[in-house]
Chain A
Amino acid sequence: MEKIIQTEDLTKYFDDLLAVDHISFDIKSGELFGLLGPNGAGKTTTIKMLTGLAKPSSGRAVVAGIDIRKHPKEAQWMMGVVPDESNLYPELTGFENLNFCAALYGMARQERRRRSRELLKIFDLSDAADRKFGDYSKGMKRKLTIAAGIIHHPPLLFLDEPTTGIDVTSARQIRQLTMELRKGGTTILLTTHYIEEAERLCDRIAFIVKGRIIHIDSVANLLQPMQDVYIMDVVLSDATGGLLPATVQHFPDYHVEMLPGEVMRFTSHQPIIVSPIINFLEEHEAQVLEARRKKPSLEDVFVKLTGVDKDAMLNGTRDKGGRV
């Protein structure tokens, strides 16, 4: 399959700050590729370099066969960009915004109007077509910004944090639309710090932390090493201080750890038998509220490979060791 994006040792410094650190990856045509990492990991800077909004300090980036450093304007014909903040014009209506964005790509008047109406319908915004963008809700703004990004039928779409900060219904609609675009043949580079979103949508994922790509693979391959891992979470009402060491000692075949929310997690490469655990815990006067088997997820893989936990994903690049 043809490669639509190729990067080689792409690096970006802002003065002395290393924002993107020699990253190399390829994206195949038609692929939905995810850049997954915490806030401040370098995802948006990477997109800016690939779209011509930032100049790489060193390294190479080729988009649709065009060297983006040398010919950014030629490459921009091939791409649509949906930035992490909705940046359309608040004084214009939804229809006027789309019509304007189409004009930036030189589309003729009739075609602009037809395409704008078509996208407003697809994105369920026809009723709000004549309302000013500034009066839209966050979810509606996000949807219109995505519509503006694909107004000129680009073969390559950059989606930067498309569901951050919006309501659940709009986020679900945007994920559905993203899947449909991918089915229609559009190559998508999606950045997100939502692990479940990346797992659900992406063909391949790159884990990016502190400007470096830690690992790239398909979702299936990333999960593969975890296929023979069994996890059981036991929710306790109140875990006493001595309970964990006693449990670890009593179940030497399981890896046992305490998670936030009074959750005791058992991990093993053999199936976990529930009843001895419950009996043991109740004998030690712990009240078991719930016990659930859990399938290993991409989150587990991400934490294992990067050392960044889920809370840190949402708050920044602080890892488990507390380093920033």
Chain B
Amino acid sequence: MQVSIPVIVKDPVVTNYKDIKPTEQITVEADVFLDGPVSPRVAVVDFEPDSGALAAPARFAAPKARARRGSYDVPHPVSMGDPDVHPIATAVSVFGAVHKTIGMFEEPDALGRSVDWAFDAPQLLVVPRAGQMANAYYERESHSLQFFFFADPTRAGRSIHTSNSQDIVAHETAHALLDGIAPDLYAAISPQSLAIHEAVADLASLLVSLRCRELTRRVLQDTWGQIDNSNAFSGLAEQFATALDPERNYLRNLNNRTRVQDVPSHGPHELSTVLSGAFYTLLRMTYEELRGHYASKSMPDPTVVAEPEANYVEKTATAGEPRRSTRSTSGALGSNEKALFIAAERIKRTLVRGLDYLPPGDVNFADLARAVLASDEASHPDSSTLREWLVQEFITRGIVAGRKELDVKTNFDRKSLLEVDIAELVASDFAAYAFAQRNRAWLKIPRNTPFEVRPRLDLTKLYWHRDTRRTVREVLFKVSWSEMENNRSGGGLPRQRRYRAGTTLAIGLDRRAPYVRALITSRRLEQDRQATDAMLKELIESEKLHLSATANSGPSLLRGAIEANVGSGVLHVQGMARMLHVTGLTR
């Protein structure tokens, strides 16, 4: 079943001054829709701020007669120039924006699969009016996205609702999705691991906003195609940021040149701009390359974007809402528009598929860079120019010292893969453990260390070759283990701590015999250890690290603290990703 949903574009302030319609109409598809809105994967639960009771839900109107699409009744639709949004309009909009983000990650030319949430349940709960605070967050423990509101400094008695910002909704949804894709990041103790979470969430906001045709068209018109002349895309959460600081019209700007060494504090939010900035630069370079070609009606260099890939993006962007798609559409694409869409889709694919290749554990930017380059090579074997641009970005921004650090051996045969039944490896935990045990040294599992094999992912993705597109099956096999290192954070904490490490094995199944598409193991460096020391110290000093007296103190009743316990003299920190939002430590 499909439902048509009005989603607030950017936020009510941006659409007003840009003079564009305040909502875009998107289509969401699911087996069932209920009042709320509720779908099998997303449920909006709106609590009245004054009473705590559940607010009246948005009523689902089933498709009439032969119509394919249903809708939700929005008695007071969002109106142009009115920053006040009725709670039902907000509930419907946030539902649509969450689905829009999910769709972008899961569609066939991205992950090509449905992401399992990191919590053991099928539904992500969304609270559009969670309480009064200038914040919004994803919280694994309560299976929820929580959007808060705060007093509008420019309008007495009125509030700014973070749930009315598509950027913020996409950002938090991306945290939930990434937690499903790479759950170890939630417990990682490295600032760069947390920064990956934040950068991916920021990039998701960017990419989701680029899918709004009217917004992109207006920005491209206003800037004569020079997207650097506007922060409409690169600047995030404008209404929210301006309310907190009138001098700032974005929360973070992705259009930056920040390098790792420019962030000595190792703050995850600041660090994240290094990574998001690298991908934004890639977007900009790809866009500039493509717009020149499309303006002159020449074909782009296939080593940048293959023709089948460009055709696919253009078709899906203009041909109505294909199955599972959540794009808003209308009419043919102009050359700049086309260039921007194709560039954005390419960046999306490169990033999101890289996340799937990410090894489990405490990973750093270099681990992600290796995963991104390896997965991109599989997805776009002939489009190497873009990877070269990325390599240069990773070096320039201090993510790696040189290109050798980015080398991953790809596409090679391995005898042990020929000896294993891939279907059994995917289906049977026993077979998976036996395989890991047999290949322990190859998978870099330390001796005498217990390990954990993650559920295998059997995926079918679209791959783009110079002349054609292919549907390719691959299996991702991930194994992780715990390691110890010295803890020099001080603060009275133990002198040793635990972190997780892991390996991803990507098995290609598009040849006669299974082969290794990539083998990537996390590489923890001395600078990662130092950064962890600094972050733990900061947590202690800000009194946000709650140290249980024993290793068996049970679940904490605290919501705003990072939990740590000490067992056998070793520190074990849990749920560190909560520091990104829940603790209110940083924004």
| B partners with A | no
**Hey, which bits of chain B sit against chain A, CB under 8 A?**
none
**Hey, which bits of chain A sit against chain B, CB under 8 A?**
none
